[in-house]
Structure 1
Amino acid sequence: MKIRIGFSLTYECPNPTPMILNLNVHFSRAGDMISADHLHADPPVPLTGFRDNFGNWSTRLVAPRGLFTLSNDALILDSGAPDPVVPYARQTPVNELPDDTLMYLLGSRYCETDRLSEVAWQLFHHTPPGWARVQAICDLVHGHIRFDYAHARPTKTAWDAWHERVGVCRDFAHLAITFCRCMNIPARYCTGYLGDMGTPPPYGPMDFAGWFEAWLDGHWYTFDARNNIPRIGRVLIARGRDATDVAISNTFGPNILKNFVVRTDAVAESPDAKGPTGL
């Protein structure tokens, strides 16, 4: 299937303002891009790309004074397959974990393993290690937190989400990641596009989505405590320890976000389209 993705962000800056952005599709999906997701700036400014410490494609710029819009529009090829479910995936003992997974066992800005370790062991020590344990964590978090955009805030941590029991997709992900790490399962935060393909209406306004990946049996697997069902059409933008590492924008000066639109839609195939032929 083909998916059209894109966004439009408009800022108002009282002064020229440096920005660092995570808005491009992850390099692991580069081979799926049908049309490139180049950033467009209005008014035009110089853009500098670089790879951050997690391999995400990032962009630096200086936004001019006044209204400033960033946008892109791209087409990506997707398998249309749902997130894989591998119930037999085992939990890897800590002493056997690859070195590059170890940072995802540790506490981070939004994932306070020290504060939630006792809670996690009380809740999940009886669950079978491996896939079943991560799924049990997702089930509990999915039922524990009520989704509500009105309760989003950039300072909310996993500890806050546990006690307040309301939040947005990043809060579901942070709490699930923290519980996984407390149970010695490496887990990392993901952000990207996730449309409504394959789900029944009504549909809410589109936004960038947050989910997570857990390391089991030698692989990173996708889990989504907010939706808690396998989904199709997931397009990764960035990965990191938590939302700190994958913020869509870091701005170094006062500004107001005046407009924010995200688009991700399946592209209907033309009835005249023909598939490949061969002899």
Structure 2
Amino acid sequence: MHISHIEAQLDYEVGAPAHLLLNIEAARAGAQAVIRETLTIEPAAEVQVFCDEASGNRFLRFDVAPGPLKIAYTATVQRTQVDVPHDLPEVPVNEVPDEVLHYMMPTRYCESDLMARCAYQLFGDLPPGIGRVQAIVDWIHDSITYESGSTDSTTTAREVFVQRAGVCRDFAHLGITFCRALNIPARLVVGYVAFEEPPQDFHAVFEAWLGGRWVLFDATRMAPVDRLVRVGTGRDAKDVAFCTIFGSVSMRDKQIVVTELQDQSVAPPVEPPASGALLGIEKPVPVVELATSA
């Protein structure tokens, strides 16, 4: 069992009235449980909270007025170790569950239809199964240079393949693209993790559908993949942006610290709040402390 403590602070300057959609809260799903968490928004705002039942992603949305905006999120999250067999097979397309099928389709950032010939040239002769996905991960790690600032929010997997440089999101997009091109369902996962080397930031990895289950992979090898605190899951980056802005808002600073805790004597995890509840951020709710400062 792993326990992680997260501290995230986002500072913005709002130029005109705008609307924000945040996806920064740890997911409450699967082997992961939120023990405690707090959210602070300055100045205070009326926040609508909802959860996408299909993905488990938790969203916050609210209006903001011109001026400085500070968002702080802390959480202590418990994650149970999940053993992954070394012989998981690929699932034939006709046996892929309906709810997983759309993770086989090309998307804006993962042009698996355009990369199919390349994927088969590189990996088509390998035995199907988890070993082939690991070969994809190894190839990306060995062939793509991790370089901060080498890509932007519009960069696609095909562009990363050509320029041979990117960041964690690009590594994950390329892994997803190769998998889908080989008829292996794959999806993007973002969250928090304690990097072996600072600075820390949001981190992106990918999952492949193998043997009837989702298995995590990280081609950057920046941190143990089983230590990731999941926040968002989606088809590609457009589904899991930590902040989607409607209006004139610019980021001034972002600080993220993730600490692995040794003491496992913690309180039981809390139950999630009702989906779609409308909350005043100045009021605490039964399971999540919501606070503000003047």
Task: State how many pairs are aligned.
Answer: 264
* CA deviation after TM superposition for structure 1 residue 30, in Å: 8.9
Range with greater deviation from structure 2 (119-128 or 223-232): 223-232
Q: Which residue of 1 aligns with 2:112?
A: 113
Partner of 2:73: helix, strand, or coil? strand
Kept after mapping to 2: 8 A contact 1:192/1:234: yes
* CA deviation after TM superposition for structure 1 residue 181, in Å: 0.2
Partner of 1:126: helix, strand, or coil? coil
Task: Show CA shifts across 1:15-48 (max 9, x none).
Answer: 1110111111112069622212x32100110110
Kept after mapping to 2: 8 A contact 1:84/1:222: no
Q: Which residue of 1 aligns with 2:273?
A: none
Q: Which residue of 2 aligns with 1:207?
A: 201
Q: Distance in 1 between matches of 2:180 and 2:93?
A: 11
Q: Would the alpha carbon gap of residues 42 and 230 (structure 1) be closer, same or farther in structure 2, given more than 3 Å must change?
A: closer
Kept after mapping to 1: 8 A contact 2:4/2:259: yes
Range with greater deviation from structure 2 (217-226 or 178-187): 217-226
Q: Which residue of 2 aligns with 1:127?
A: 126
Q: Which residue identity does 1:250 align to in structure 2?
A: T
The 5-angstrom pairing of residues 173-212 of structure 1 reads 173-196=172-195, 199=196, 203-212=197-206
Q: Would the alpha carbon gap of residues 71 and 230 (structure 1) be closer, same or farther in structure 2, given more than 3 Å must change?
A: closer
Task: Show CA shifts across 1:162-203 (max 9, x none).
Answer: 00111100000000000000000000100001113xx5xxx2
Stretches (4+) displaced over 6 A: none
Q: Would the alpha carbon gap of residues 124 and 156 (structure 1) be closer, same or farther in structure 2, given more than 3 Å must change?
A: same
Q: Distance in 1 between matches of 2:174 and 2:263?
A: 39
Q: Would the alpha carbon gap of residues 7 and 29 (structure 1) be closer, same or farther in structure 2, given more than 3 Å must change?
A: farther
Q: Distance in 1 between matches of 2:157 and 2:253?
A: 28
Q: Which residue identity does 1:162 align to in structure 2?
A: F
* Structure 1 residue 87 corresponds to structure 2 residue 86: yes
* Structure 1 residue 172 corresponds to structure 2 residue 171: yes
Partner of 1:111: helix, strand, or coil? coil
Task: Show CA shifts across 1:239-261 (max 9, x none).
Answer: 00001000001101122100101
Q: Would the alpha carbon gap of residues 125 and 229 (structure 1) be closer, same or farther in structure 2, given more than 3 Å must change?
A: farther
Q: Which residue of 1 aligns with 2:258?
A: 264
Partner of 1:177: helix, strand, or coil? helix
Kept after mapping to 2: 8 A contact 1:139/1:228: no
* Structure 1 residue 69 corresponds to structure 2 residue 70: yes
* Structure 1 residue 250 corresponds to structure 2 residue 244: yes
Could you tell me the TM-score, scaled by structure 1's length? 0.89
Task: Show CA shifts across 1:56-107 (max 9, x none).
Answer: 111111122111011111212234x4x7442200011001111111100000
Q: Distance in 1 between matches of 2:115 and 2:34?
A: 40
Partner of 1:101: helix, strand, or coil? helix
Q: Which residue of 1 aligns with 2:48?
A: 48
Task: Show CA shifts across 1:114-156 (max 9, x none).
Answer: 2101100111111110101100111111111111112131011
Q: Would the alpha carbon gap of residues 188 and 120 (structure 1) be closer, same or farther in structure 2, given more than 3 Å must change?
A: same
Q: Which residue identity does 2:46 align to in structure 1?
A: P
Q: Distance in 2 between matches of 1:228 and 1:261?
A: 18
Partner of 1:236: helix, strand, or coil? strand
Q: Distance in 2 between matches of 1:99 and 1:19?
A: 32
Cα RMSD after superposing both structures:
2.0
More helix by share: 1
Q: Which residue identity does 2:260 align to in structure 1?
A: A
Q: Which residue of 2 aligns with 1:236?
A: 230
Structure 1: tracts of 5 or more residues without a match: 275-279
Q: Distance in 1 between matches of 2:55 and 2:35?
A: 25
Q: Which residue identity does 1:78 align to in structure 2?
A: R
* CA deviation after TM superposition for structure 1 residue 54, in Å: 2.9
Q: Would the alpha carbon gap of residues 31 and 126 (structure 1) be closer, same or farther in structure 2, given more than 3 Å must change?
A: closer
Task: Show CA shifts across 1:209-265 (max 9, x none).
Answer: 000110011101111111188444210001000010000011011221001011110
